[in-house]
């Protein structure tokens, strides 16, 4: 198995830290980018008048305009006291405004913290309190809910309220109004190192609270620069922006496109879920690179009537975040035969760490999903058993990853950070929790999860967080949540019992969950029982519940 010491800046020949098991090999680095916000300014100097971001309805912003707007955001943040290493929250829809905002935050030296603007205010307020954001940029329609949540805890970040989003105009107007009252002087962009924090992405947590994955400029740059090498992007490309900005798939969309002077085309959230509308839109926008979770691609193949539209501009179809059912991948390739397809694998904590180029022709006899592939050159894989000992090739084990893309840690959770890495090694081997087997050809096959975490539409979901939300319902006595993966997705089913034996309606439970969880975490099915089955130790018997599918 390959091994190399973590190196964020340059190539190195890496010394074996476990000589009995690991060999000394060169470790290739793709890192040429030091700070993410520099990418925008470099492209703005090369392509000032080219469209940087185009929104679903056609509104757009040029590279020069985007860079200038991010500079104004930087100046305002520094003026209100944001310092390097602070955190700044973002609660607004995906848009050109949001792109300018995140670059402005990084230019101020801070880390951006994006949240799901459709999630309950209580959840988003928790995230912003948890990482103690210094300032918060929020859409006006969402401000009251957050202010109410903050008032109950005494938390009071600086608020910048934006009256909607669209082409950068609302953000520009908000900054102009603030400048009329209290002008913000121009400030230089912060000089950041690879190890400095760039953003925090909050993922579902087993304790019932989201946890913040801290990612540095160097973590992202290792991935971005590798994408440049493998996918050969250029200024004529048109990248889809399907993933929300609080989801790690957005890192490729935003930074790889803008690094190369390409156009980032925003896929509005509702459009992104409707294959009948999305298919003609992809053709109309002449997208060249598509990146999303497999779920929407499966729907496009089934219901998008792709044969009716000219999508010949597509040269790359990239997917990640969950298993792509082979029958739907075959279907999509029959309808879109011309692009190259890549399966990109990796948790938020590592971004993409393995990749697999799907063959031009998938054999008719193939009934299993395609592999997750081989490790990206900037990553090192290690497959271990339950004791943390490397297994032989072909044996099942947990995939662990080391290298420059691996997270710095979890925000304010030192114990979680410690448990996330293999003990007994000098190198930081991140435990993905995914069980794999290395095939004869060196590709890894994904077999399943080690714990109760699932992937649904690309989102990582801790089933325990859904249970914790259900327990907040005043009538619920017991709750257990299971997932039942099939070729059509990962349906989530919640089993509940009530304190008085009454049966809660599905409408009531769906409404309650939607008020306490992001929509992608709301169970698809509910089953009310008098009491949940128990094991001999009086714990909920999940095995029996599985049999009640």
For the segment 256-272, what is each residue's pLDDT rounded down to a tens digit?
A: 999 999 999 999 999 99
Bridge partner residues of 518 (DSSP):
none
Please, where are the H alpha helices in 93-132? Answer: 96-107, 121-130
For the segment 427-466, what is each residue's pLDDT rounded down to a tens digit?
A: 999 999 999 999 999 999 998 888 778 888 888 888 988 9
Pick 455-546's CATH classification: 3.30.70.60, 1.10.10.60, 3.30.300.30, 3.30.70.2190. Answer: 3.30.300.30
- Residue 293: both structure tokens together: 């979770």
**pLDDT higher than threshold 80 for residue 549:** no
CATH fold for the domain made of 2-30+379-449:
Luciferase; domain 3 (2.30.38)
Q: How confident is the model at residue 108 (pLDDT cuts 50, 70, 90)?
A: very high
Tell me if 37-269 shares its fold with 455-546: no
CATH fold for the domain made of 37-269:
Rossmann fold (3.40.50)
- Contact indicator for 395, 468 with CB cutoff of 8 Å: no
Please tell me the predicted confidence (pLDDT) of residue 537.
59
For the segment 228-243, what is each residue's pLDDT rounded down to a tens digit?
A: 999 999 999 999 999 9
Please tell me the predicted confidence (pLDDT) of residue 101.
98
Please tell me the predicted confidence (pLDDT) of residue 455.
83
Please tell me the predicted confidence (pLDDT) of residue 190.
96
For the segment 387-434, what is each residue's pLDDT rounded down to a tens digit?
A: 999 999 999 999 999 999 999 999 999 999 999 999 999 999 999 999
- Contact indicator for 301, 333 with CB cutoff of 8 Å: no
Across the range 267-296, mean pLDDT stands at 95
Please tell me the predicted confidence (pLDDT) of residue 32.
63
**pLDDT higher than threshold 90 for residue 488:** no
Please tell me the predicted confidence (pLDDT) of residue 536.
60
Q: How confident is the model at residue 18 (pLDDT cuts 50, 70, 90)?
A: very low
For the segment 531-542, what is each residue's pLDDT rounded down to a tens digit?
A: 899 876 567 888
Across the range 350-366, mean pLDDT stands at 96
Neighbouring C-beta atoms of residue 130, cutoff 10 Å: 19
Q: Which of 22-31, 122-131, 176-185, 362-371 has the lowest mean pLDDT?
A: 22-31
Please tell me the predicted confidence (pLDDT) of residue 289.
98
**pLDDT higher than threshold 90 for residue 87:** yes
Please tell me the predicted confidence (pLDDT) of residue 33.
66
Q: What percent of the chain has pLDDT over 70?
A: 93
Q: Which of 33-37, 149-153, 414-418 has the lowest mean pLDDT?
A: 33-37
Please tell me the predicted confidence (pLDDT) of residue 378.
95
Q: What is the CA radius of gyration of the chain?
A: 23
Please tell me the predicted confidence (pLDDT) of residue 347.
95
Across the range 280-300, mean pLDDT stands at 95
Q: What percent of the chain has pLDDT over 90?
A: 80
For the segment 110-140, what is each residue's pLDDT rounded down to a tens digit?
A: 999 999 999 999 999 999 999 999 999 999 9
Bridge partner residues of 495 (DSSP):
480, 527
Across the range 20-36, mean pLDDT stands at 51
Neighbouring C-beta atoms of residue 281, cutoff 10 Å: 17
Please tell me the predicted confidence (pLDDT) of residue 26.
37
Q: Where are the domains of the chain?
A: 2-30+379-449, 37-269, 455-546
Closest-CA residue to 287 (of 236, 340, 360): 236
Per 3-state DSSP, what percentage of the chain is helix, strand, and coil (rounded to 5)? 30, 25, 45
Please tell me the predicted confidence (pLDDT) of residue 290.
98
More confidently predicted of 458 and 39: 39
More confidently predicted of 359 and 32: 359
CB-hemisphere CA count at 13 Å for 161?
9
**pLDDT higher than threshold 80 for residue 6:** no
Q: How far is CA 61 from CA 45, 108, 113, 270, in A?
A: 15, 21, 23, 22
Neighbouring C-beta atoms of residue 505, cutoff 10 Å: 10
**What DSSP string describes 148-192?**
HHHHTTT---EEEEES--STTHHHHHHHHHHHHHSPPPP-PPPP-
């Amino acid at each position: 198995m390959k091994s190399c010491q973590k190196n964020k800046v340059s190539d190195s020949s890496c010394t074996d830290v476990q000589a009995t098991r690991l060999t000394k090999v060169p470790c290739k680095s793709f890192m040429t980018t030091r700070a993410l916000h520099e990418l925008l300014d470099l492209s703005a100097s090369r392509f000032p008048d080219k469209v940087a971001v185009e929104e679903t309805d056609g509104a757009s912003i040029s590279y020069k305009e985007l860079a200038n707007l991010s500079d104004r955001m930087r100046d305002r943040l520094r003026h209100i006291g944001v310092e390097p290493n602070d955190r700044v929250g973002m609660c607004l829809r995906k848009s050109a405004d949001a792109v300018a905002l995140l670059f402005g935050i990084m230019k101020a030296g801070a880390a951006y913290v994006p949240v799901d603007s459709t999630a309950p205010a209580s959840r988003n307020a928790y995230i912003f309190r948890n990482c103690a954001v210094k300032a918060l940029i929020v859409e006006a329609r969402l401000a009251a809910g957050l202010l109410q949540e903050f008032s109950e805890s005494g938390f009071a970040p600086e608020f910048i309220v934006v009256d909607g989003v669209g082409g950068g105009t609302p953000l520009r107007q908000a900054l102009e109004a603030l400048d009329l009252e209290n002008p913000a002087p121009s400030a230089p962009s912060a000089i950041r190192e690879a190890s400095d924090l760039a953003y925090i992405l909050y993922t579902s947590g087993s304790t019932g609270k989201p946890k913040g994955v801290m990612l540095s400029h160097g973590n992202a740059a290792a991935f971005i620069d590798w994408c440049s090498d493998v996918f050969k992007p250029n200024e004529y490309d048109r990248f889809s922006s399907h993933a929300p900005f609080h989801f790690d798939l957005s890192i490729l969309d935003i930074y790889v496109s803008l690094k190369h002077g390409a156009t980032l085309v925003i896929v509005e959230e509702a459009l992104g879920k409707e294959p009948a509308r999305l298919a003609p839109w992809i053709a109309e926008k002449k997208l060249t690179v598509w990146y999303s979770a497999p779920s929407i691609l499966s729907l496009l193949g089934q219901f998008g009537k792709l044969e009716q539209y000219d999508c010949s501009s597509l040269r790359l179809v990239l997917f990640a975040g969950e298993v792509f059912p082979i029958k739907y991948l075959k279907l999509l390739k029959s309808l879109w035969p011309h692009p190259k397809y890549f399966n990109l694998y990796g948790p938020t904590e590592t971004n993409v760490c393995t990749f697999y180029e799907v063959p031009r022709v998938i054999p008719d006899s193939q009934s299993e999903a395609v592999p997750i592939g081989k490790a990206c050159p900037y990553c090192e894989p290690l497959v271990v058993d339950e004791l943390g000992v490397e297994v032989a090739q072909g044996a099942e084990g947990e995939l662990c990853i080391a290298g420059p893309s691996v997270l710095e840690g979890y925000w304010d959770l030192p114990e979680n950070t410690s448990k996330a890495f293999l003990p007994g090694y000098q190198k930081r081997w991140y435990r993905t929790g995914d069980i794999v087997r290395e095939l004869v050809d060196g590709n890894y096959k994904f077999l399943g999860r080690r714990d109760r975490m699932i992937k649904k539409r690309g989102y990582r979901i801790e089933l325990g967080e859904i249970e914790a939300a259900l327990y907040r319902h005043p009538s619920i006595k017991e709750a257990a949540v299971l997932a039942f993966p099939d070729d059509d997705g990962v349906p989530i089913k919640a089993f509940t019992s009530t304190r008085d034996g009454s049966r809660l309606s599905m409408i009531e439970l769906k409404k309650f969950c939607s008020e306490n969880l992001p929509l992608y975490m709301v169970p698809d099915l509910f089953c009310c029982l008098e009491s949940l089955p128990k094991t001999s130790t009086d714990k909920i018997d999940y095995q029996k519940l599985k049999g009640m599918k």
